[in-house]
Amino acid sequence: MTTCGRLTVAFVFLSLFTSLTALAQNDSPLRKLNIAEMAIKALYVDNVDEDKLVEDAIRGMLEKLDPHSSYSTPKETKAMNEPLNGSFEGIGVQFNMVEDTLMVIQPVSNGPSERVGIIAGDRIVGVNDTTIAGVKMSKEEIMRRLRGPKGTTAHLKIVRQGIKDTLTFDVVRDKIPVYSIDATYMIRPGVGYIRIGSFSATTYNEFKESMEKLRQQGMRDLILDLQDNGGGYLQAAASLAGEFLEQGDLIVYTEGLRVPRREYTAPANGSFRDGKVIVLVNEYTASAAEIVTGAIQDQDRGQVVGRRTFGKGLVQRPIDLPDGSMIRLTIAHYYTPSGRCIQKPYVKGDRKDYAMDVLNRLKHGELTNQDSIHFADSLKYETLKQHRTVYGGGGIMPDHFVPLDTTLYTKFHRELAAKGIIIQQNLRYVDGHRKKLRKAYPDFAQFKERFVVPQELLDAIFRDGESKNVKPKDDEERQRTLPLLTQQLKALIARDLWDMNEYYSIMNETSEIVKKAVELLGAQ
């Protein structure tokens, strides 16, 4: 190395040393982070991806906090926000993969695909100039090609049963609604049923439309199903809860070390204050869904049926970063009107134990035996109007406990489902019998009453299972599998012929939690 080269390197190191020394004189944690980043960038032996380095540092900091503070990349942030925003832009079809081919289950009603004539059972084999069937393309990649900005055109190649030639359709992409309400129907005379999958920007308006539909069908009482609802927007939950309450009733409040108490109250008299309300919950009911449940229970507006909810009572504030990524930072706790903290206990930085909580509940017997549930006197609270005893300690404990039946699904049934055998054979059956089924059962009521799952479909499932080494232990296990398997198949066929209302209308008939709600309402 020349003398000039040595002087240049020496000057660089001297400049870096001077900069780091200056930074070090300010001993704030932020300065330490700056020093580390500058040193790695300037001195590390190999090339480094600086963006990834910063991302890893952010993730590392957040992982030492509570279980719900998180970082998401721009791509992850967009995917996470789509269902909460209530829409995305695309061609508008519900689909599933039959082996390696995309089959349309239902086009979205009045969506861009339905408007050009695409129908249930169509197979999309090409998008623009790309073949997507028989090429082992991932589902995510296919979705990426089907979606696109509103107003752009997707040139689709379609194979339709009974038609020899491949059809072509030009579909102009549009805004496609994402519905957060899974089902709305009359479960018994005078009793409406609404199942909410999540709380998005459109949930409150969807709920009002569902309520109006049920009122027109003679609803007096309501079963509100929040099982497996992982939460969503606080404001959507608060607005919905307000529909059951009197003006000024407290719904939830939030409070944190650096965030003052903020109360959410019913802004006006709710539109459904007289009929009975039963809320259904389980161990996967969380966050915004727990807010609604806690408000209805604490204000003595309705009864809660099921099992203790998940216990996610931490408020996250989204912090948008310049590149489209996001930090969701916990800033406060949720409290029910009686003062119960919804958040279950956790150890900072121990996310593994937190993730295993539901499994630990099962092992300890909490999900299967009410006698296994014990509360300290310090966790007792009172409801606001009738002064009934309710319990804190994380999550919402129901008024009526319904145990989890761990024997409901046999090992054989679980393995058939895990390998995708049930779904795949169901799709094949519906695809081959759609016209015949529609003709035989012109409306769902007739289907629900008269349809019996054919033996040919069961035989196809068992053959497919055997080819994949999925077999019952013995004939007794096969026989125990049949009742729930046939019910599931009937519900799936109803879903594919109609929609999710019909699916839940069949599946709910053997749900112990739903049956308990119906019993409490005195319905037949």
Active site residues: 287, 298, 312
Q: Nearest 5°: phi and psi at 205?
A: -65, -40
Picking from 451, 443, 523, the residue whose alpha carbon sits closest to that of residue 493 is: 451
- Catalogue the E-assigned strands of 39-99: 70-72, 87-90, 93-98
How far does the chain reach from its first CA to its final CA, in angstroms?
Answer: 93
Residues 404 and 359: their CA atoms lie apart, in Å, by 12
Structure tokens that stand for 117 in this block = 């004539």
Please give the distance of CA 93 from its chain centroid, rounded to a whole number. Answer: 19
| Cα distances (angstroms) measured from residue 438 to each of 16, 120, 497, 498 | 76, 12, 8, 10
Contacts 24+ apart (CB under 8 A), 385-388: 385/299, 385/300, 386/300, 388/300
**Residue ranges of the alpha helices (H) in 405-454?**
411-418, 421-440, 444-450
Q: What is the dihedral of CA 112, 501, 199, 304, to 10 degrees?
A: 180
Residues 524 and 511: their CA atoms lie apart, in Å, by 15
Structure tokens that stand for 44 in this block = 């590390």
| Cα distances (angstroms) measured from residue 310 to each of 242, 344, 394, 395 | 22, 8, 8, 6
